[in-house]
A and B are shown apart, each in its own frame.
With several copies, the nearest count.
Chain A
Amino acid sequence: MADLLTLYGEVFQSRFLLGTALYSSPATMLDSVAASRCEIVTLGLRRQNPKDRDGQTLWSAIQSTGKRLLPNTAGCKSAKEAINLAEMSREIFATDWIKLEVIGDDYNLQPCPFGLLEAAAELTLRGFKVLPYCTDDLVLCQKLLDAGCQVLMPWGSPIGTGLGLMNKYNLKTLRERLPHVPLIVDAGLGAPSQACEAMEMGFDAVLLNTAVAKAAQPAVMAQAFAAAIDAGRSAYRAGLMLKRQTASPSTPTIGQPFWHQHPK
């Protein structure tokens, strides 16, 4: 029986969402997207003269993948900015999906709990399907659900750091307390082992960009993340062994040779 990911009613086989920024060329981006086997790609909007060739080329490349688009509101610092950029996204990309980012600090680029919640509520009212980039704060997450979000995307660590799962306690708490909500770890992952562990913990999917785009060989890294995410998901479903503090032999101890009870 297939193990599928459902987000806002759409069904996906892949649990890997990939960003399209920071690649050395559109061709490398395309190779990486293909190697990742992802079905959803993120992208953004920036001021450009629409006739700008570079922008057009990348956009054509992204379109050519045929993947589901998940536009973001990266860099927005207030609910108002994010709401307006989301509206612009909807018009351009003809999708009501939005990766909602409201940044609260210029240095750690963390989500602003306040602006994020305000924007999520308003966009939900306007018919958007909001996938908020949020912290691992359980209360914020619960309020985002109350505001109508059906998917949450808590950070692992700050964007672009590669520090992985910074606060496993909070992440485990989210998973335990929100067992039926699709939870996607977004941001901060730097290595496939980290993505694998997130999946072993029961997260539903992983979104990343820098760790692939900034690898020495991005497409190979994309494929590695894809395999590690699958592995982590399988392991979660297959039931990990329990950790023990004391050793326990694998090879049986019964019948160990050379141990004698000599006859008296």
Chain B
Amino acid sequence: MLTILLNNQTISLPAGSTVSDALNALGSSDGPFAVALNDEFLPKSRYQQQPLNDGDTLDLVAPVGGG
């Protein structure tokens, strides 16, 4: 098991999970969103290979109105 902080919420995943796994767990594999891992942008192309470590932070952002 590993624990990560996704959008400031703690979630637990099986050891060896990737970013894709985390997104699937959330049910969010498509739609207009982007991801930062440990405060660094992670391109979509890398979701599948990118392993997660215990304590990682994942930011998932989507469009909002803005000024």
Contact = CB atoms under 8 A, between A and B. Distances in A.
Contacts of B43: 87, 91
Contact of B65 (A22, A56, A88, A259): A22
Most buried by A among B26, B36, B61: B61
A45 B57 contact: no
A62 B63 contact: yes
Contacts of A194: none
A135 interface: no
Interface residues of B, number: 31
B31 to A, nearest CB: 4
Interface string A43-73: 1111111111001101100100000000110
Tell me which of A49, A56, A85, A87 has the highest count of chain B C-beta atoms within 10 A of its own C-beta: A49
Contacts, number: 147
Interface of A: 19-23, 29, 42-52, 55-56, 58-59, 62, 71-72, 74, 80-81, 83-85, 87-89, 91-93, 159, 187, 208-210, 249-252, 255, 257-263
Given A92-B33, A159-B67, A251-B65, 14 more contacts: A22-B65, A42-B66, A43-B65, A44-B67, A50-B33, A59-B32, A59-B64, A84-B40, A84-B41, A93-B63, A208-B67, A252-B65, A260-B5, A262-B5
